[in-house]
Amino acid sequence: MLKTDSTRSHRFLKLMGKGKKFSRQTQADFDTNKLRFLDADLLHSAEITEGGGNFDLLKSTNDKVIGISDLDGDKLEPGVNIAVDRIKFSYGKAAASGSPTAASISYSSLVSAFPPELLRAKLAISQDRKTKLRLPVERFTQQANSPKVQGEEDVLHLGSLIFLEENKPIEIQLEFEDAINAGADKHFVQVRCMGTETASR
């Protein structure tokens, strides 16, 4: 479905094309009106298996699995560039004895659901050795559940857009001051980057 030019993320991508900022093939598609603009909701879930210091949520060996991660490895597919204007960050846990997986967890962005060590951590997103985002996890939480559609009130609307480019490694990290007290549970987080993405016709 062709997206109307009604969002700043869409306008940002069109300006990238007019400024000749895309890769060679994507730029050629833009110049010949073969490039589409679609709603984006890039999802990635991961288990927090270590505490303290920096923890990589996305690895180069990551597998693309529906409902768990939209990334094959740590790069966007050729032709896919995303202008991110909203991010949803959620947390979930389950007893380790039940062998939970990222797909079986019920995630929440309520501040009351988060362990204090995670609230004090920072979420960092980088690409091409450039920091795109670095904010406290607490900024992504909410005080109460929203009755509205996901992506409206349960997300952080970014003051500055993030541009994620095709074929370049993406780093998603949590920066911890203190390790999470895991106890008898396994801990998981989910990151969703929303905005507008490019696609070939």
Task: With respect to residue 47, please indicate whether it lies within any of the assigned structural domains.
Answer: yes
Look-up of token digits 């790069």: 75
Tens-place pLDDT, residues 155-174: 999 999 999 999 999 999 99
DSSP state for residue 28 in the 8-state scheme = H
Task: With respect to residue 131, please indicate whether it lies within any of the assigned structural domains.
Answer: yes
Task: With respect to residue 83, please indicate whether it lies within any of the assigned structural domains.
Answer: yes
Q: How far is Cα of residue 174 from the mean position of the Cα atoms in its chain?
A: 12
Distances (CA, A) of 64 to 27, 67, 75, 135, 162: 26, 9, 11, 26, 22
The structural domain count of the chain equals 1
Q: Would you call 13 helix, strand, or coil by DSSP?
A: helix
Backbone angles phi, psi at 183, to 5 degrees: 60, -130
In terms of Cβ atoms closer than 10 Å to its own Cβ (0-12, 13-18, 19+), residue 73 is: middle
Range of the domain at 72: 39-200
Tens-place pLDDT, residues 29-46: 999 999 999 999 999 999
Residue 3 clears pLDDT 80, i.e. is over it: no
pLDDT at 5: 45
Judge whether 26 and 79 are in contact, CB under 8 Å: yes
Distance between CA atoms of residues 41 and 67, nearest Å: 12
Task: With respect to residue 167, please indicate whether it lies within any of the assigned structural domains.
Answer: yes
Q: Would you call 16 helix, strand, or coil by DSSP?
A: helix
Task: With respect to residue 48, please indicate whether it lies within any of the assigned structural domains.
Answer: yes
**Mean of the per-residue pLDDT values for the chain?**
91
Task: With respect to residue 23, please indicate whether it lies within any of the assigned structural domains.
Answer: no
Residue 6 clears pLDDT 80, i.e. is over it: no
Q: Would you call 2 helix, strand, or coil by DSSP?
A: coil
pLDDT at 93: 94
Task: With respect to residue 25, please indicate whether it lies within any of the assigned structural domains.
Answer: no
Containing 48, the helix (H) or strand (E) segment is strand 35-48
Backbone angles phi, psi at 12, to 5 degrees: -60, -45
Task: With respect to residue 11, please indicate whether it lies within any of the assigned structural domains.
Answer: no
| pLDDT over 70, % of the chain | 91
